[in-house]
Amino acid sequence: MSDDPFTLFDSWYAEAKQSEPNDPNAVALATADAEGRPSVRMVLLKGHGPDGFVIYTNRESRKAGELAANPQGALLFHWKSLRRQIRIEGPVSWATDEESDAYFASRGRDSQLGAWASEQSRPLDSRETFEQRFAAMTAKFEGQDVPRPPHWGGYRVKPTRIEFWQDRAHRLHERRLFVREDGNWSEGLLFP
């Protein structure tokens, strides 16, 4: 019964891409501050493999502050069309500059400009202020490629624990838990 969890993730993710009406890569990211107070928000998965699960965001945002104080995260996928969830937990680190640069370069120009214009998670006095900042960045970078802002980049959750949950009749669900210890994955089941 034991595959490695990444092969199983790939097969569930491929099915989700077929069956989810939108954003099969949408995933909740939970972080906690230095006192252990949790917070959670949706992000988009932009890369994954045995090294971890990568998302991109503002490195001065609330989540970034929490990760600086407490570099541990949890990810939750819920694919309603498949009645499945996947829980991923582990330490979080920055993606390399090279991968952040490459991902940023692949984004649409307005999304790139938005990353410059947004002081993500900080108070905004009016929508107009944001639109003015966006216009200022549009003018600033006119006629040139938009470089990756220093405050923007990837985070990688390197899993130590991955659980695959499949809905079954009468709440008799199936839960497969993979745990990494000393570099090796072991698999077991959990009561639902």
Ligand X SMILES: Cc1cc2nc3c(=O)[nH]c(=O)nc-3n(C[C@H](O)[C@H](O)[C@H](O)COP(=O)(O)O)c2cc1C
The single residue among 43, 68, 76, 82 that binds ligand X, judged by CB under 6 A, is 43
**Based on CB atoms, which residue is closest to ligand X, 43 or 179?**
43
Distance CA(127)–CA(163), nearest Å, equals: 41
Burial call 64-83: b when 16+ CB within 10 Å, e when fewer? bebbeebeebbbbbebeebe
Q: Which two three-digit tokens encode residue 119? A: 């002081």
Distance CA(137)–CA(141), nearest Å, equals: 6
Catalytic residues: 171
Interaction pattern, residues 62-91, with ligand X; x per rule: CB under 6 A:
xx----------------------------
Distance CA(32)–CA(131), nearest Å, equals: 31
107 binds, among ligand X, ligand PMP, none (CB under 5 to 8 A by kind): ligand PMP
Q: Which of residues 111-140 bind ligand PMP (CB under 6 A)?
A: 111
122 binds, among ligand PMP, ligand X, none (CB under 5 to 8 A by kind): none
Residues in the chain: 192
41 binds, among ligand X, ligand PMP, none (CB under 5 to 8 A by kind): ligand X
Residue located via tokens 């104080």: 69
Q: Which residues bind ligand PMP (CB under 6 A)?
A: 44, 56-57, 107, 111
